[in-house]
Every structure is written in structure tokens, then in C-alpha cells.
Structure 1
Amino acid sequence: MSSSDIFIGETIGTAVLILLGGGVCAAVTLKHSKARNAGWLAITLGWGFAVLTAAYLAGGVSGAHLNPAVTLGLAIQGGTAWGDVPLYFASQLLGAMIGAVLVWVVYYGQFQAHLTDPEIVRAQPFEEAMVDQAAAPKAGPVLGIFSTGPEIRNAVQNVVSEVIATVVLVLAILTQGLNDEGNGLGTLGALITSLVVVGIGLSLGGPTGYAINPVRDLGPRIVHALLPLPNKGGSDWGYAWVPIVGPLIGAAIAGGLYNVAFA
């Protein structure tokens, strides 16, 4: 597999993943969207279908890692060369940012209407420490479209939730459906993995929103910080390390477990 294959496959695949996954979050969240208030089931199914579509697109090109945690797990397992890991990471981050921008493009009118709605603007929570009335809130009203956040902010619990959910994901990928080169998802593996993602969302997604993918959170969070969204509020950078560190720890544990128990 060439460097260009990795770059093209992971960039396009991750962009599609975030476009469809972030798109369902936007559809459920934004006013004047036909899917507004469709609920958690719609979000979990949307992300599952996003994984399925992206994996089918990129599987034959780059192995469809689409996630640094998957890349790390495969490197520990031995299916991916360590020298390719930085390129996978960089391509995935770029793709995630492109996908987040495309969500904004598709829902541009809804973003504008939502963020200029007086009811939404008045409801923004300001940090107690902020004395300037013009200061931006800690987490803006549309941040959840771009990145994850905890229902109860407890760093230890939040990290552990992400670790456990990512162990399930990466072990499921490592133990089935690898392609002929052994470094990514095959056709059946893409289908099974998408169902695993739905299951994780329904069962383990409640505490943190199940990032289980560092670039799924970091790339769109960067885009949220950069986009010219009116009254968008803050990007909650104080939490941003959790959905990066937790999935990477989970991936390392999953890779080690695989080598001990399944190899």
C-alpha cells in the first residue's frame, strides 16, 4: 500500500465519516431541520451508517482505518507498519476537518437561523468566572454537532468511558473482517464494525457521546473554533484532551489484549 493510497483513502473516507455523522447531529439539533429532535436513536444509527459508507469507500484503498485508535491498535497487532502511522493520523485529521466544513456548508442556513434565534442566544450558559457580559460561553449551542461532551464532567469517569468503549471497538475490528493485507477492514468487516458502532452508541454512549476516535472530535472542534458562526460560543478546549487520550489508551489496551488472547 503506497503513501498516496493511505493519504487519499483516509482523507476521503474520514471526510465522508464526519460529513454523515456530523450531518445527523446537525439534522437533529438545528432549528428548521426536518429531523430536529429525532433523538439519540437517530444519532446512533446515523453514525453507524456513516461508518459503513466511509469504510466501503476507503476499504480497498487505505484499509479504512478512519480513526487513529484503529491505526494504533493495528500497529500494535502488527497489521500496520509503524512508519505509516503518522501519515494515517495526519490524513484522518485532515479528512475530519474537511467533513466538518462540509456539514457547515450543507446546513449553512440552519446554522445561521439557529444561532441568531433569540431563544437560543439567551439560553447560552456563561462561566461564572467571566465578568465581561460579552464573553463567550464555555461550550456553544452547536458545539455538539462538531464534537463530543460529557453529561457529567468528571475527568476520570469520562476517560474511563472512552477507554472501555474504544477497547470494544478496536477488539471487534482486530478479531474479524480484516482485508487480505491484514491492515484494515474488509467488506464483511465494514458491515460488522458499523453495527458495533451502533451498539456502542446505544449502550456506552450516554456518558460522553462516545467519541472513540480522536480525530472525530479534534478535527471538527478545530473547525468549530475557526468557522464564522454567529454567537457560536466556546469550543470547550478544557475537555478536548479526553476524547483524544481515552481512545488512544483504549486502542493500546485492545492491541495488547489481542496479542495475548487472540493472536
Structure 2
Amino acid sequence: MDVSLGTVFVSEIMGTAMLLLLGGGVVANVILPKTKGFNSGWIVITFGWGLGVFAGVYAAYKSGAHLNFAVTIGLLANGAAEYAPGVAVTFASTMVYLAGEMVGAFLGAILVFLAYKKHFDEDADPGTKLAVFSTGPAVRNYGWNFVTEVIGTFVLVFIIIAFGKTPSGLGPLAVALLVVGIGLSLGGPTGYAINPNRDLGPRIAHALLPIKGKGSSDWGYAWVPVLGPIVGGAIAGLVATAYVV
């Protein structure tokens, strides 16, 4: 059955919101004061994000479950004819995916805030509260942070294209485990955004929400987790064109 652009838009909203709700939620559970999961560590965060992807792919199956503009760009660079059945690769359809992903990420971040409202009200470093919404570098060096995001996103998009051609074709569990692996192996320097929507939508939410004691949204760094994944996704798509039969 062919999929309409309206269905694509709603599907990507649902899937990306689910991804951000569970992914942002596990970060909140680990780092915000007085939560049940406080200080449970990086491995919990990486598995939480992986399971967020697992749920998001199922929620967005109708659109091919991109959930990530880097994946959309990777498929475009790879020369795909369709993003989903009946959804031709055009400028208009690409923008619908981007819009759905951005709206979903923004809404997912708001839901995390609502779920953890009383914990956001507790005293905590403003940077800790921002970290629930968006990524930040362990060692700030914009050039090398950018390189890290390019590499991590390349791995994600190349493997998706190589084994599935679409995210749902690879299988939700396989994509989830791939994201866990990237987080464990490459997530240390930057927090592995590997998805421009995952970082930008929630960062906007952080800027707009009435979060007690919040500080800057760190817009000076914001370009890194946006452009790095886009470049990494595009390179992955181009490399896969030559490498993947």
C-alpha cells in the first residue's frame, strides 16, 4: 500500500517522539536528583537509547522509520528511488521527513520534562538539566567533536543501508543494538547525537520550557550535533553506493 506524505509526517512525529521520550527519559533518570535510577551510569543510558530506537522504529513503521535526518540524507545520497512505498525521493518528501522528525523530537523532549518535572525542580547544575535534552562534549574542541559525530553517524547510516536499505528493513532490534554499540564505542567524546533532530529539537524545547534553574542552551555548540550527523549520513550514503551491491 502506498503511503501518503501526511502519513509520513504523522508517522515520523510518533516515532521520533517515542525515541526522544525514552532516550531523554533514561538520561533524566540517570542524572537528575532523587530519581530511582540516579547515578546508574553510561551503560544504562546507552541501552535506554537503544530501546528508545527499538520502540521508535515500531511506532514509525509506516514511513520507513527514519527518525533521523541523517538517515534520510543517507538514503538520498545513496540514490534511493523511494523512502517508503509510494513515497518518491523528492525535495518535498525530504522536507516532510525533516519536519516530522523535528516536531517529534521537540514533543518527545516536552514529555520528558513533564514526566520528570519535580526532579527538574530540584537543585542541580544547569548543565545537568541541559544534558537531559541535548548533547555536549566531554572535552570541548569543535573540530574534533565534529569529526566524532561524523564517524558515529557514518557507522549508523552505512550499516542501515548495507543490511536493510531502510531502517525497518534492518529490523528494530538490530538497529537498537547498533545504536547501543555506537554509544558504548564512540559515545564518550560527544554523547553521540548521531541525529540532528535528536539534539536540535530538544535543545529548542530546553530554551522554551520553564525549567527551574536552567542556564544557557549552549547554542555555540549546537551546530556540531546538527552538521556532523548530516555530513556523516551523506558520506555513508555515497560510500554505500559504491560498496553495497
TM-score by length of 2: 0.93
Counterpart pick for 2:19 among 17, 20, 45: 17
Distance in structure 2 (CA, Å) of the matches to 1:2 and 1:184: 18
Larger radius of gyration: 1
What corresponds to 2:224 in structure 1?
242
The answer to whether the Cα contact below 8 Å between 2:153 and 2:233 also exists between their aligned partners in 1 is yes
Distance in structure 1 (CA, Å) of the matches to 2:128 and 2:76: 38
1:177 offset after TM fit, Å? 2.8
Gaps of 5+ in 2: 84-88
In structure 2, relative to structure 1, the CA distance for the partners of 1:184 and 1:192 (3 Å cut) is closer
The answer to whether the Cα contact below 8 Å between 2:167 and 2:175 also exists between their aligned partners in 1 is no
1:192 offset after TM fit, Å? 1.0
The answer to whether the Cα contact below 8 Å between 1:176 and 1:189 also exists between their aligned partners in 2 is no
1:175 offset after TM fit, Å? 1.1
Deviation string, structure 1 residues 57-98 (Cα, Å, up to 9, x no partner)? 212x11000000000011112333033111100110000000
Counterpart pick for 2:163 among 176, 197, 214: 176
What corresponds to 2:242 in structure 1?
260
1:16-55 to structure 2, matched below 5 A, reads 16-55=18-57
Question: Aligned pair 1:101/2:110, yes or no?
Answer: yes
Counterpart pick for 2:168 among 185, 207, 217: 185
Identity value in percent: 53
Distance in structure 2 (CA, Å) of the matches to 1:105 and 1:77: 39
1:125-144 to structure 2, matched below 5 A, reads 140-144=127-131
1:235 offset after TM fit, Å? 0.4
TM-score by length of 1: 0.87
1:184 offset after TM fit, Å? 4.2
Distance in structure 1 (CA, Å) of the matches to 2:159 and 2:7: 24
Counterpart pick for 2:133 among 139, 146, 151: 146
Question: Aligned pair 1:216/2:198, yes or no?
Answer: yes
1:31 offset after TM fit, Å? 1.0
Gaps of 5+ in 1: 125-138
Corresponding residue SS for 2:139: coil
Report the RMSD for the aligned CA atoms in angstroms: 1.2
Aligned length in residues = 235
1:141 offset after TM fit, Å? 3.0
The answer to whether the Cα contact below 8 Å between 2:69 and 2:197 also exists between their aligned partners in 1 is yes
Q: Comparing 11-20 with 78-87, which one deviates more in the overlay? A: 78-87
Distance in structure 1 (CA, Å) of the matches to 2:213 and 2:121: 9
The answer to whether the Cα contact below 8 Å between 2:57 and 2:167 also exists between their aligned partners in 1 is no
The answer to whether the Cα contact below 8 Å between 1:171 and 1:258 also exists between their aligned partners in 2 is yes
